[in-house]
């Protein structure tokens, strides 16, 4: 079965600090892509970062980076220098074929 | 550039009434189209997806249906709404290559009363 697990329903971080959101997934496919989406209170889904499974190098996007461990099927998101605007629900997802699979989300609170 | 439009943004409907939510994509052709539902504080549940005109795959049995009358138009419908249909509905598209992200509309907040 294709599944995505985010084991942290809620996380909090002090402003300017670093936080890591966890994600594990289960797929039998060898070719897939992984994503982290951010959903702020407006509920607009915004792509944060993407990772190609065939690439060993971890993706980075400004203050956002991932730790991709393919063998362990782990795809965590690190947010550095957290800002108040980072407060949102974060969803881990992957695509294989035409199907996207999403986790249940982690609600991130940023404490001033 | 590609854009996705979803409307209405909010909707309050009585139980038993019909539903029609519309989604259109601009700036691309033959996209994959998706309807998701998100209950309060929960993840995304895939309802329907379509890889082409008239091709609809249903993931969850329910009283909702979807149609794709045109290449870039995706409609979510119901003949009779239930209280349990309340939620936040998101339309999304991808380019169908299997290696790009999904792009989401603004969402529709549906309240069935």
Mean pLDDT over each residue of chain A, to the nearest integer: 94
Sort strands A33-39 and B32-38 into parallel, antiparallel or unpaired: unpaired
Mean confidence (pLDDT) of chain B? 92
Pairing of strands A10-14, A19-21: unpaired
d(CA A110, CA A14): 6
Taking CA–CA distances from A36, the nearest residue in chain B reads B101
pLDDT the model gives residue B47? 93
Residue B50: predicted pLDDT: 95
Average of pLDDT values for A24-45?
92
Nearest residue in B to A103, CA atom: B43
Q: Report yes or no: A30 at the B interface, CB cutoff 8 Å.
A: no
The pLDDT of residue A1 is 65
Strand partners, B77: B20, B65
CB B36 within 8 A of CB B92: yes
- Residue A111's pLDDT band, with cuts at 50, 70 and 90, is very high
Please state, for a pLDDT cut of 70, what percent of chain A lies above it.
Answer: 98
pLDDT above 90 coverage of chain A, percent:
79
Q: Assign B59 a pLDDT band (cuts: 50, 70, 90).
A: confident
- In whole angstroms, give the CA distance from residue A87 to residue B80: 37
Q: Do B41 and A107 touch (CB under 8 A)?
A: yes
Q: Which chain A residue's Cα is nearest to B101? A: A35
| Residue pair B78/B86 in contact by the 8 Å Cβ criterion | no
Closest CA of chain B from A81, distance in Å: 26
Task: Average the pLDDT over B36-51 and give the result.
Answer: 87
Given A43, A97, A107, which is nearest B88 (Cβ)?
A: A43
Cβ within 8 Å, pair B44-A91: yes
pLDDT at B61: 65
Q: What is the pLDDT of residues A36-88, one digit of tens each?
A: 999 999 899 999 999 999 988 999 999 999 999 999 999 999 999 999 999 99
Would the pLDDT of A96 be above 90? no
Q: How many CB atoms lie within 10 A of CB A46?
A: 13
Determine the distance in angstroms separating the CA of B37 from the nearest CA of chain A, rounded to an integer. 12
Percent of chain B with pLDDT over 90: 79
The answer to whether residue B77 scores a pLDDT higher than 80 is: yes
- Which two tokens mark B100? 């790009």
What integer pLDDT is reported at residue A72 of this predicted model? 95
Residue A33: pLDDT band (50, 70, 90) is very high
pLDDT band at A11 (very low <50, low <70, confident <90, very high): very high
């Amino acid at each position: 079965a294709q599944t995505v697990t985010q084991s942290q329903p809620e996380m909090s971080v002090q402003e300017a600090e670093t936080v890591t959101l966890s994600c594990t997934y289960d797929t039998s496919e060898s070719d897939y892509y992984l994503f982290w989406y951010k959903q702020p209170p407006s509920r607009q889904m915004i792509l944060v970062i993407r990772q190609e499974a065939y690439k060993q190098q971890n993706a980075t996007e400004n203050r956002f980076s991932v730790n991709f461990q393919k063998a362990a099927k782990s795809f965590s998101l690190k947010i550095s220098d957290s800002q108040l605007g980072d407060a949102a629900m974060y969803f881990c997802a992957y695509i294989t074929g035409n199907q996207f699979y999403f986790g249940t989300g982690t609600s991130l609170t940023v404490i001033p | 550039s590609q854009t996705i439009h979803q409307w209405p943004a909010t909707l309050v409907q009585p139980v038993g009434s019909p539903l029609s939510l519309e989604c259109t994509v601009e700036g691309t052709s033959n996209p994959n189209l998706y309807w998701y539902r998100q209950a309060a504080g929960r993840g995304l549940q895939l309802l329907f997806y379509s890889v082409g005109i008239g091709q609809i795959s249903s993931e969850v049995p329910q009283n909702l249906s979807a149609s794709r009358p045109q290449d870039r138009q995706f409609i979510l419908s119901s003949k009779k709404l239930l209280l349990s249909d309340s939620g936040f509905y998101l339309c999304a598209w991808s380019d169908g290559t299997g290696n790009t992200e999904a792009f989401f509309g603004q969402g529709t907040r549906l309240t069935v009363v």
